[in-house]
Amino acid sequence: MALKPKTTIQIALWSGSLLSFSIACYFLSRVGCVADLKGGSWGDFNAGLDVESQGIFSAFLGLLLAVVGVAVAEEVGIVMRLARAICALFVGMILVMLMPVFVESSAAQSCMPVAPAK
């Protein structure tokens, strides 16, 4: 059974979206190990901001691919596709805003230098 071309495009868009979000999580976890940007207690902040900008770009690319993947669905009409794409954009923006906080804070806790015992 062969896939329809539209289905293949959707699979490619969703796969690209998941890959982009995975790359974003990788970069954001590296930020937690380079510097504590949220707490400001240790690390090289300029290097941390450079790595964070790469992660945020990848997260927005993943969001864009997910919204386009939702918008090209054929099973419903154009109005429903547009409504689904707007909902995916809204939920995705919340994800893109909250994901760095959670990933960076957990990485900072795992990579934070431990103070010597007194």
State pLDDT tens for residues 65-104: 988 888 887 777 888 888 888 888 898 888 888 888 888 7
Q: Among candidates 110, 67, 111, 114, which has minimal Cα distance to 88? A: 67
Domain segments of the chain as ranges: 5-109
Q: Among candidates 31, 36, 22, 21, which has minimal Cα distance to 51? A: 31
- Rounded mean pLDDT of the chain? 79
State pLDDT tens for residues 17-29: 889 988 988 888 8
| pTM for the full predicted model | 0.76
Q: Which two tokens stand for residue 68?
A: 């386009």
Residue 13 has pLDDT above 60, yes or no: yes
Residue 62 contacts residue 18 (beta carbons within 8 Å): yes
CA distance 107 to 105: 5
